[in-house]
């Protein structure tokens, strides 16, 4: 029995989320900014048509956006995360084999018994998601994940196809692949795309026909796998259960540069707190902590410095106070006076399930810290983040980043629930 992959991808996801609660923005140009209002990470079709590029620094196009009455939002991850869960829940309710691939994408594995009308099925699925959640999606079908990805791209381009396209047993498969630039293939990024193009491999069809040894040598095993997938040979596993996390990062650029060690540590302490909370939610403990700091790499005139320092945690821990004291030592080693720091971050590595944590011969703090951390998390969950936190993380946090155009947390915070009024005519 043949196997089919469907890729369901939410259209311009962050923009669609914002529009759900601002319906007046339908058919108007809208963009969403990254953290710190740094650059553009989502664009409506109208914004794309204006020529606004993905990843464009906001300050460079701010005037242009204003001139064209483009609506600008800071990113609102509480909202996007919640709507993502709703879309995924619909898929999981309707299908047994779902792989949540990212916040706005999922693969569905369908055992196809031949003759099933995939496109009709896709149209129905798409309509269900639109009705139940309100987010528009595109759906691509293919015999491998890579081809499903390409089919999805075609679904988006083919306006007459109503957002659904299948490459399964497509009679003109090669002709279609010949029109896909090699850099648009999933797994071929900017660097490899440029290299391939320079070597005469310009399209997905060219890549499909590439020489195995050459591909292996120049693109490593991953590139060869991509070529295999284009040939219809499925090489990428379908992962219904998300693989165990290997690291947890928390980092942010600052709203302004930071010079002093005390203030820098406030930021580091804040990120330690966030990462540790995330880790405890996942019921993990870390065996290694890494702290990094960096100056603004775009500011060519200022002296540059970036460095990281890591420390082993023995026994592995999820205790915020323990992590804070270790992070302080790391920063003491890392810190150099005289630099304008732009960003700092914390990475938790060597993660283990907390249940498997071995007792430490010389006694750790886990006995005391466990209940304390549980109580802390409970309070902060109930009363809001940072209700109780370590003083090390600071109170004013004047270095925090900008988010000047953020929409309310419509679906995850009682205060921000949209209010609907009925009126009699």
Q: Is 55 in the site for DNA (CB under 7 A)?
A: yes
Q: Beta strands 164-166 and 137-142: pairing type?
A: parallel
Query: Which residue among 181, 189, 209, 260 contacts DNA (CB under 7 A)?
Result: 189
Q: Is 103 in the site for DNA (CB under 7 A)?
A: yes
Q: Is 345 in the site for DNA (CB under 7 A)?
A: yes
| Size of interface with DNA, in residues (CB under 7 A) | 50
Angle (nearest 5°) at CA 277 between 320 and 329: 35
The region of 92-100, 130-138, 217-225, 358-366 touching DNA under the rule CB under 7 A is 217-225
Query: Which residue among 24, 114, 159, 191 contacts DNA (CB under 7 A)?
Result: 191
The region of 33-41, 43-51, 107-115, 161-169 touching DNA under the rule CB under 7 A is 33-41
At closest approach, how far in Å is the CB of 156 from DNA?
A: 12
Whole-number Å distance between alpha carbons of 245 and 247: 6
71 contacts: CB under 8 Å, gap ≥ 6: 18, 22, 25, 28, 29, 30, 31
Q: Is 192 in the site for DNA (CB under 7 A)?
A: yes
User: Please, which residue, 186 or 339, has the CB nearer to DNA?
Assistant: 186
State which H helix or E strand residue 5 sits in.
Answer: strand 3-10
CA 204 to chain centroid: 25
Q: Is 236 in the site for DNA (CB under 7 A)?
A: no
Query: Which residue among 193, 232, 287, 408 contacts DNA (CB under 7 A)?
Result: 193
Residue reference for tokens 């660097």 = 191
Whole-number Å distance between alpha carbons of 180 and 196: 13
Whole-number Å distance between alpha carbons of 77 and 104: 12
Q: Which two tokens stand for residue 198?
A: 């320079």
The region of 108-116, 173-181, 216-224, 384-392 touching DNA under the rule CB under 7 A is 216-224
User: Please, which residue, 140 or 143, has the CB nearer to DNA?
Assistant: 140
185 contacts: CB under 8 Å, gap ≥ 6: 146, 149, 150, 204, 207, 226, 230
Residue 283 DSSP code? T
Q: Is 149 in the site for DNA (CB under 7 A)?
A: yes
Contacting positions for DNA (CB under 7 A) = 34-36, 38-39, 41, 55, 57-59, 101-105, 149, 185-193, 216, 220-222, 243, 245-253, 257, 274, 278, 296, 298-299, 342-343, 345, 347, 401
């Amino acid at each position: 029995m043949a196997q089919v992959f469907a890729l369901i991808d939410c259209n311009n996801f962050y923009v669609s989320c914002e529009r759900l609660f601002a319906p007046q923005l339908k058919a108007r140009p809208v963009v969403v900014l990254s953290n710190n209002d740094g650059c553009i990470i989502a664009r409506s079709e109208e914004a794309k048509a204006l020529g606004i590029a993905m990843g464009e620094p906001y300050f460079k196009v701010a005037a242009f956006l204003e001139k064209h009455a483009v609506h600008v939002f800071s990113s609102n991850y509480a909202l996007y995360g919640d709507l993502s869960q709703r879309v995924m829940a619909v898929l999981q309710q309707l299908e047994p084999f779902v792989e949540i691939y990212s916040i706005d994408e999922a693969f569905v594995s369908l055992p196809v018994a031949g003759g099933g009308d995939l496109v009709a099925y896709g149209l129905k699925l798409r309509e269900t998601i639109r009705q139940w959640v309100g987010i528009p999606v595109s759906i691509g079908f293919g015999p491998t994940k890579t081809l499903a990805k390409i089919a999805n791209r075609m679904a988006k381009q083919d306006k007459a196809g109503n957002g659904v396209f299948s490459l399964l047993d497509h009679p003109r498969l090669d002709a279609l692949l010949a029109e896909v630039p090699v850099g648009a293939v999933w797994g071929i990024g900017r660097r490899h795309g440029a290299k391939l193009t320079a070597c005469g491999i310009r399209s997905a069809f060219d890549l499909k026909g590439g020489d195995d040894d050459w591909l292996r040598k120049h693109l490593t095993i991953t590139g060869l796998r991509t070529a295999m997938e284009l040939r219809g040979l499925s090489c990428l596993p379908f992962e219904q259960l998300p693989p165990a996390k290997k690291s947890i990062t928390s980092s942010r650029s600052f709203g302004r540069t930071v010079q002093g060690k005390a203030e820098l540590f406030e930021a580091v302490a804040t990120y330690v707190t966030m990462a540790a909370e995330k880790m405890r939610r996942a019921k993990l403990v870390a065996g290694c902590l890494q702290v990094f700091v960096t100056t603004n790499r775009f500011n060519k005139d200022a002296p540059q410095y970036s460095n990281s320092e890591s420390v082993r945690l023995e026994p592995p821990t999820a205790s915020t106070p323990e992590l804070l004291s270790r992070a302080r030592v790391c920063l003491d080693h890392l810190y150099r006076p005289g630099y304008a720091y732009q960003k700092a971050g914390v990475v938790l590595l060597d993660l283990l399930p907390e249940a498997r944590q071995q007792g430490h011969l010389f006694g750790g703090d886990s006995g005391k810290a466990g209940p304390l951390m549980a109580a802390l998390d409970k309070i902060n969950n109930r009363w809001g983040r940072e209700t109780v936190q370590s003083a090390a993380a600071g109170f004013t946090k004047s270095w925090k980043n900008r988010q000047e155009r953020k929409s309310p947390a419509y679906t995850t915070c009682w205060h921000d629930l949209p209010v609907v009024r009925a009126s009699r005519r």
